[in-house]
Amino acid sequence: MQTAILTCAPTGAIHTPSMSPYLPVTVEEIATAALEAAEGGAAIVHLHVRDPEDGHPVQDVGLFRDLLARIADASDVVVNLTTGGSPHMTVEERVAPAVQLAPELASLNMGTMNFGLYPMLDRFTDLRHEWERTHLGNKDLVFKNTFADIERILRTCGDQGTRFEFECYDTSHLYNLAHMRDRGLVQGPLFVQTVVGLLGGIGADVEDLLHMRRTAIRLLGDDIEWSVLGAGAAQTRTAAIALSLGGNARVGLEDSLWDGPGRLATSSRAQVDRVRTIASALHRDIATPQEARRRLALRDADEAP
């Protein structure tokens, strides 16, 4: 089997600071978490930033620029900027950092969907900031990713040399990706991130995961790098399944706060270490950043866009 590409997402837009004392908030904390994950074997770090005062997700280009400089000074890890941001943001806000900073890699959500975080309020009741309750409790939240939105991000970022981690939360998103490929808007190899376990998307049962894999292969052929992101308690289990099938995996506190039943992960590095142990048990080696660049057809980190 090929080496396994591990992605780590150390912070994000789903969880809030009140949920875990280990969730990084400031640029310094996020950079430290990303570099620790890279030292542990993550070839790619998927990055969001937060307001340093109350931790709410922002798409501040200045914060991203500072974050990227800190990481580039210490590591050759592949940097993957979010264009998803938060479902509460406009597409213009979400895409601005990737447009201005032209990263090697950017995430791209492949379809509009309901986004249900409100069940978390039953488990996390001691919230310090009002924005957290508003963020989690919204039952009318729609994550807008229309065909026009997707095409706009593909063209504006792709023209700069940025390639994409295609985040697919359901089978319809795979059909949307195939449609964009058939129109010539994307070219292989396609980095397909299968997202399971979020309310509004496909579930995290093994049959759901296998159905997504079969559909991706049927629609897109073998010119894909297939990876799995399992939300919450599904993270380790779905990563193990992906690795056993020859695929790749993504972990990190953006996707799950946990490192075992009822036990908060003390860092994203802890999750990277756990999945790397699983990979070793399956006789899978871990890809280096340069291997990931080659397989995903990325430009070199120091190559001008």
Residue-wise pLDDT tens digits, 117-156: 999 999 898 999 999 999 999 999 999 999 999 999 999 9
Would you state the structure tokens that stand for residue 85, as one six-digit string?
A: 């941001």
Q: What's the rounded mean pLDDT across residues 240-244?
A: 98
Phi, psi dihedrals of residue 32, rounded to the nearest 5°:
-60, -45
Spatial neighbors of 305 by CB under 8 A, at least 6 apart, are: 102, 160, 161, 162, 299
Q: Taking 70 as the threshold, does the pLDDT of residue 52 lie above it?
A: yes
Task: Supply the pLDDT for residue 305.
Answer: 53
Closest by alpha carbon to 108, among 88, 142, 85? 85
Q: What is the arithmetic mean of pLDDT over 94-103?
A: 97
Kindly state the percentage of the chain with pLDDT values over 90. Answer: 95
Delimit the domains of the chain by residue range: 6-296
Task: Please count the other Cβ atoms lying within 10 Å of the Cβ belonging to residue 174.
Answer: 25
| Interstrand relation of 105-109 and 113-114 (parallel, antiparallel or unpaired) | unpaired
Nearest CA to 272 among 239, 241, 234?
239
301, pLDDT greater than 70: no
Between β-strands 57-58 and 49-50, what pairing exists: parallel, antiparallel or unpaired? antiparallel
What's the mean pLDDT when you consider all of the chain? Answer: 96
In the predicted model, what is the mean pLDDT of residues 175-195?
Answer: 97
Up-side HSE of residue 30: CA atoms within 13 Å toward CB? 29
Residue 279 pLDDT exceeds 70: yes
Q: Is the pLDDT of residue 275 over 60?
A: yes
Is the confidence at residue 260, as pLDDT, over 90? no
* Whether the Cβ atoms of residue 135 and residue 87 lie closer than 8 Å to each other: no
pLDDT of 55 higher than 70? yes
- Summarised one tens digit per residue, pLDDT across range 207-224 is 999 999 999 999 999 999
The yes-or-no verdict on residue 303 having pLDDT over 70 is: no
Confidence at residue 108, expressed as pLDDT on a 0 to 100 scale? 98
The set of residues, in sequence order, having a beta carbon less than 8 Å from that of 23 and lying 6+ positions away, is 11, 15, 16, 17, 55, 253, 257
Position 1 scores a pLDDT of: 77
Per-residue pLDDT tens over the stretch 56-82: 999 999 999 999 999 999 999 999 999
Q: Please report which confidence band the pLDDT of residue 302 belongs to, taking 50, 70 and 90 as the band edges.
A: low
Q: How far is CA 258 from CA 16, 45, 229, 230, in A?
A: 14, 18, 14, 12
Fold entry, domain 6-296 = TIM Barrel (3.20.20)
- The pLDDT assigned to 14 comes to 94
